Chains A and B, each alone.
Chain A
Amino acid sequence: MENRQNEYKYGFESKLESEDFPIGINEKIITLLSHKKNEPSWVLDFRLRAFAHWKTLKHPNWAKLKIPPITFDKICYYNTPKKTIFPGMNNGLIDQELLATFEKLGIPIEEQKRLSSVAVDAVFDSVSVATTHQKDLAEHGIIFCSISEAIQKYPDLVKKYMGKVVPYSDNFYAALNSAIFSDGSFVYIPPNTHCPIDLSSYFRINAKGSGQFERTLIIAEAGSFVNYLEGCTAPARDENQLHAAIVELIALDNAEIKYSTVQNWYAGDSEGRGGIYNFVTKRGNCLGINSKISWTQVEAGSAITWKYPSCNLIGDNSQGAFYSVAITNNHMQADTGTKMVHIGKNTKSTIISKGISAEESSNAYRGLVKIMPSAHNARNYSQCDSMLVGNKSSAHTYPYLDIKNKSATVEHEATTSKISEDQLFYLKSRGISTEKAISLIVNGFCKEVFKELPLEFSIEAVKLIEMKLENSVG
């Protein structure tokens, strides 16, 4: 028990000089942010419209979550390190502490480490502090930069797609993010280009009392392919912090985007104190024919997770997939799932969700499969399995079906199981330790999802889950 707080090895805080906005959110703050970023007027206009809409909304309460009241006026919405990592970015001063932070997190962002086969956009509090491999990628015509940079350099692309997959009116947190988003990642893959390396974003919250509101936009032109990875961590604190992000994906004809997340925000301590509130809207539009988008997520952190990576299957023959492992322990709460909206003909979606709940946590799957009248011969397969560890945790499954075309084929399977004493004893009686036995059982349970992850991610996911369950069984 005593070392449980230490299990979260990313819970440290970096001391560095930062610049922050006054707390709270209003038109003045939003305008200040937009001016600071030297944004064109259409972006400020977008922000202000989103803010006006947000003020009319009530906090959503339909999820299987107990969300304590959040005082939006007490949050700092913009906090940025004074110095950055690369000369040439911002004011050109290199912050060694910032470098050391990413070193400690195991994220290779220094230029000399560029041999690493993953390009990274590192977001620290409110800003992107480094984007690696930009030149190499540019040789292929690939744009990989912060969204702030994209707004400056590629305004037409941003204007064409930003807010089109997730309109600001989509939900409470989408509106809030659209009003105040401070940075995020931008990717453009030109036609018929197979992105030669994996791209990634790493999100780090550091400053106390601030929230993180970033948005990511990925555009895959016709015939292109990209594998995108996302990770995140935050210091361990007794106060809750808000992370409200938007991710928008666009896949054109025959394009494919694979988006994988290992979400490891600080989850609070064993008493349920602290942790990140992770309220995220992720959605992809399969715009083109034969386009494919897959979301693979391992949700292992956050005090509260509210997240439904979804696909609008617009192009004929397009395919969407959602592979998820959500693990909760202590007092964590997760309500996560997906929406698959079939619009084009012969569209296909796959949903594999594995929920593991331990200790006093609560874990819900919520998913919608919607078949529009235009979606002839649409197919969906959903499988939602829950595993309970111990007697105090809970698992819930809320599958919604909305079928408006009779030619659809929709299959749903759901199971709930417990790690049984018998399974544990069986493995132990063969000389396998309790920890290894649990990890074998849980990995067996999550296998269909883990095989969708890139190798490094699946190894990390396995370790994360082992750590979460270390004290939960036996």
Chain B
Amino acid sequence: MLEIKNLNVEIQGNKILKGINLNMKAGEIHAIMGPNGSGKSTLAKTVAGHPDYIVTGGEIFLHSKDNTRSDLLALEPDQRAREGIFLGFQYPVEIPGVTNLSFLWEAATDVALYQKRKPKNKKDFIEYAKEKLHFLDMDENFLNRPVNVGFSGGEKKKNEILQMALLEPRVAFLDETDSGLDIDALKIVANGVNHLKNSNNTIVLITHYQRLLDYIRPDFIHVLYNGKIIRTGGHELALELEKRGYDWIVNENKQ
């Protein structure tokens, strides 16, 4: 599904990612872990196309079932989203005066049109959105509130999952979606992600706590450190990281 080859990224002249290689298949959940500053968010934002992150080398391809692939680095962020890339923001942005509903509807319509699906009319969309809201234990008046304005931390994160549910991406990066959530909110968010997972999409969790992985079980765990992936393993790696921290892998890697 998503193929990242030797990706090198800078921000304001600082090298952040130094040769990332990742191959993620449909139906898989990947977790990217690592200490603060290791480049996890940079990886997610680069895949989504944030203009501040300059790709100095490497390639990112999004593969389709029909064996075609799109070169993501050649696309604008909105085009990438329409191709099926989703980024759940660590810090969702406030848009005053724009209701969540009009925002979500515009987005879902643009994505559907691009993917040659028939967009839902507004009435059907509202019904559809309400289903998702109930599922995420969110109040219906969410739709009428301005995007992220005055939302609590937990509400903002739930709003990200709601967007993911409505846009049905092929590859979703969830950047620290667990941070700032109490245990109940965490369960709801995790439940949502598990529900959205299917054999046609790939979910990438970015986190530095093992806690989220108690509720969402990834197929692969990658440890990112200093701009490189220094270890890939299964769920047992998360448990080991929880017990021993990152230092031992870092040290092993140095030898």
Contacts and interface: CB of A to CB of B under 8 A. Distances in A.
B78 A428 contact: yes
A444 to B, nearest CB: 3
Interface stretch (A263-271, A329-337, A355-363, A435-443): A435-443
Contacts of B111: 430-431
Interface in B77-123: 77-78, 80-82, 85-87, 89, 92-98, 102-103, 106-107, 110-111, 114
B7 to A, nearest CB: 18
Interface stretch (B27-35, B43-51, B245-253): B43-51
A441 B114 CA distance: 22
Contacts of A421: 51-52
A425 B77 contact: yes
A423 interface: yes
B106 A436 contact: yes
Interface residues of A, number: 24
A434 B50 CA distance: 13
A421 B49 CA distance: 12
Given A425-B51, A444-B146, A430 B97 contact: no
Contacts, number: 83
A429 B147 CA distance: 14
Interface in B41-76: 48-52, 76
B167 interface: yes
Nearest to B107: A430
A433 interface: yes
Interface in A382-425: 420-423, 425
B163 interface: yes
Contacts of B80: 429
Given A433-B110, A436-B110, A428 B81 contact: yes
B93 A431 contact: no
Contacts of B52: 421
Contact of A431 (B50, B78, B94, B146): B78
Contacts of B98: 440-441, 443-444
Interface size class of B (residues with CB under 8 A): 20 to 34
Given A433-B78, A433-B110, A425 B97 contact: no
A443 B98 CA distance: 8
A447 to B, nearest CB: 4
A64 to B, nearest CB: 26
A427 B102 CA distance: 12
Contact of B81 (A420, A431, A436): A431
Contacts of B86: 429
A-B CB proximity, top 4 nearest: A444-B97, A431-B81, A444-B98, A430-B107
Interface of B: 48-52, 76-78, 80-82, 85-87, 89, 92-98, 102-103, 106-107, 110-111, 114, 146, 163, 167
10 contacts: A421-B52, A429-B50, A429-B86, A432-B110, A436-B106, A436-B110, A443-B97, A444-B96, A444-B97, A444-B146
